Amino acid sequence: MPAPTSSAAAAANAVQQAASSSTMAPLNADLLQITLNENAPAPDFEKLVFGQKFSPHMLIVEWNHKSGWGVPKIQPYGPLSLSPAAPVLHYASGLFEGMKAYRSADGSGKIRLFRADKNMERMNRSAARAGLPTFDGEEFIKLIKTLVRIDRDYVPHGEGQTLYLRPTLIGTPDTLGMGVPTEAKLYCICSPVGNYYSSGTGSKPVSLLARTDVVRAWPGGTGCYKLAANYAGATRPAMDALLEGYHQVLWLFGPDRQLTEVGAMNLFVVFRDQGVDSESTRYQVATAALDDGTILPGVTRDTILSLLRAYKAGNVQIEGLPKPELIDVVERKVTMDEIIEKAEKSQIAEVFGSGTAAVVCSVDKIGFEGMDIPIPIQADGMGAVMRTMLREVTGRQWGAIPCPEWSTVC
């Protein structure tokens, strides 16, 4: 009987050989086949709860290690047929992305994607880490654009409302073997979602429970990839935080209790260093660096850093921020000790999270070891940097601020 390791090694060899052979078909959007949903219900944008309603079509492409990517299909939204042994169900051999389609507010009917190439790059990095097949991101974007055009009536019209896109890649062979999956499905489903800022609790700042007893990610782990495996373990700590009266978990890491992320968002802390008068107060916008693999490289995080750096360099005009010479933008470690010390000295100006779902989300309190650290919030529930970034990022997403390098029309 062959040792289990040798059969796994054989599978690994087969997958590797196939991947390097020219007989493997690349992902090709030109092969698309479309089956329209004859029973599509009329769009319904009443009471949009995140991820509860879906558009009538989905995109799906199958892959196997012998022939590569198959024929991409747009077909009616519906259940998948899956082996009960599929690795995604046992070993979490799966990953996802979160993107949105934005309907222009200018009445032109244009629908846009924002920095979709970044999502494709990240999805391919996740796939490589999970031993799942990679693909040509530009081809996948073409397919997603076609899907959005077909389901354009399901892109909501209301302010701040979008069609949320969920590209997904899962390992599907009919085997419990622990090797790299020899079959996979790449798909994308779409869900009309409401405006985070007008949907109940979303309009209010969130309170965080900083936890040292649970860890989201660690150096050398998979925290910097959007792997399904990272999220199951985060749900129970999130529920516990809710039961303790906080909205989200502030994930800490290491003996020095570094602030890493909040829920499934990146975290920004704005420090302020009072000068002799308000004209000379200096600000530092800080977020964790991406160097140790514990931080998910958010597209929104990158967008905010890019805008702030362009502002500081004098390459873009942005109203509502401190003068460029008074604001620094840094990727660095921030620890709980620093938060406690600077909160006491009133040197924290604001704290906010960032991610595709909310864009930005303000924090008004951090619970830590039995005490609550209050974080300043202005009357509209935001801080100056967050408010400005909300306007600047959404302006570019919806097309109100022209931004051809980041925004593409479907």
β-strands 348-355, 359-368 pairing: antiparallel
Measured from the CB atom, the residue of 182 and 354 that comes closer to ligand PLP is: 354
Smallest distance from ligand PLP to CB 98, Å = 5
Measured from the CB atom, the residue of 93 and 356 that comes closer to ligand PLP is: 356
Number of residues that bind ligand PLP (CB under 6 A): 14
Position among 188, 249, 299, 377 found at the interface with ligand PLP (CB under 6 A): 299
Q: Considering only CA atoms, give the Rg of the chain.
A: 23
List beta partners, residue 20: none
Position among 87, 94, 237, 355 found at the interface with ligand PLP (CB under 6 A): 355
State the amino acid at position 376 in one-letter form. Answer: P
Measured from the CB atom, the residue of 261 and 292 that comes closer to ligand PLP is: 261
Position among 172, 287, 356, 362 found at the interface with ligand PLP (CB under 6 A): 356
Measured from the CB atom, the residue of 55 and 356 that comes closer to ligand PLP is: 356
Smallest distance from ligand PLP to CB 76, Å = 28
Q: Is 317 exposed, middle or buried (0-12, 13-18, 19+ CB in 10 A)?
A: exposed
* Contact flag: residue 362 with ligand PLP (CB under 6 A): no
* Contact flag: residue 175 with ligand PLP (CB under 6 A): no
CA distances (Å), 140 to each of 54, 76, 170, in order? 20, 18, 15
Measured from the CB atom, the residue of 73 and 100 that comes closer to ligand PLP is: 100
Cβ atoms of 391 and 303 within 8 Å: the answer is: no
Site for ligand PLP in 246-275 (CB under 6 A): 261, 264-266
Smallest distance from ligand PLP to CB 8, Å = 29
Site for ligand PLP in 97-126 (CB under 6 A): 98
Measured from the CB atom, the residue of 265 and 307 that comes closer to ligand PLP is: 265
Q: Which residues contact 135 (CB under 8 A, 6 or more apart)?
A: 26, 27, 63, 69, 124, 127, 186
Measured from the CB atom, the residue of 180 and 351 that comes closer to ligand PLP is: 351
Instruction: Name the one range near ligand PLP by CB under 6 A: 21-29, 151-159, 182-190, 351-359.
Output: 351-359
* Contact flag: residue 301 with ligand PLP (CB under 6 A): yes
As a whole number of angstroms, the distance between CA 201 and CA 393 comes to: 21
* Nearest in space to 167 (alpha carbons), one of 147, 189, 183: 189
* Contact flag: residue 88 with ligand PLP (CB under 6 A): no
Measured from the CB atom, the residue of 27 and 267 that comes closer to ligand PLP is: 267
Measured from the CB atom, the residue of 15 and 99 that comes closer to ligand PLP is: 99
* Nearest in space to 397 (alpha carbons), one of 150, 96, 168, 110: 110
As a whole number of angstroms, the distance between CA 347 and CA 330 comes to: 16
* Nearest in space to 98 (alpha carbons), one of 111, 116, 112, 80: 116
Count CB neighbours of 263 within 10 A: 22
* Contact flag: residue 58 with ligand PLP (CB under 6 A): no
Site track 205-244 with ligand PLP (rule: CB under 6 A), x = hit: ---------------------x------------------
Rounded to 10 deg, the angle between the 116-129 and 137-150 helix axes is 120
Q: Which residues contact 88 (CB under 8 A, 6 or more apart)?
A: 82, 94, 170, 171, 172, 181, 228
3-state secondary structure of 61: strand
Smallest distance from ligand PLP to CB 410, Å = 19
- Contact residues toward ligand PLP (CB under 6 A) are 98, 226, 261, 264-266, 296, 298-301, 354-356
